[in-house]
Amino acid sequence: MKAVDLREMGDPELRAELQELLRSLMGARVRQATQTLTNHVTLRSLRRDIARVRTVMAERQRAGAAAASAPADDSKESGQ
């Protein structure tokens, strides 16, 4: 999963994707504990995908906070 694809998703889709990835990670951890996990790279890729989703969500949150704290009147900056 690429960050570009995640940035195209809406907020509800991102939350749903995060929940699905967390469920998959839990399942992979159980399979690892029971020694039925055959591909150990799965854990790493799931953790990285979760980090990507959380990063995109944090970027949006910061962008929203920055937009909310920005002054509404930009006429001073344009010289008018």
Confidence of residue 66 (pLDDT cuts 50, 70, 90): confident
Q: Return the CATH number of 3-67, one of 3.20.20.70, 3.40.605.10, 1.10.287.310, 3.40.50.2300.
A: 1.10.287.310
Phi-psi region of 50 (alpha: psi -120 to 50; beta: other; left: phi over 0): alpha
Task: Map out the domains of the chain as residue ranges.
Answer: 3-67
Task: Give the end-to-end CA distance of the chain in Å, rounded to a whole number.
Answer: 46
Q: How far, in Å, CA of 23 to CA of 35, rounded?
A: 18
What pTM does this model have? 0.80
- For residue 3, pLDDT over 80 is answered with yes
pLDDT tens column, 8-43: 999 999 999 999 999 999 999 999 999 999 999 999
**Token reading at 25:** 């990670």
CB neighbour list of residue 54: distance below 8 Å, 6 or more residues apart: 18
Q: Provide the pLDDT confidence category of residue 64 given band limits of 50, 70 and 90.
A: confident
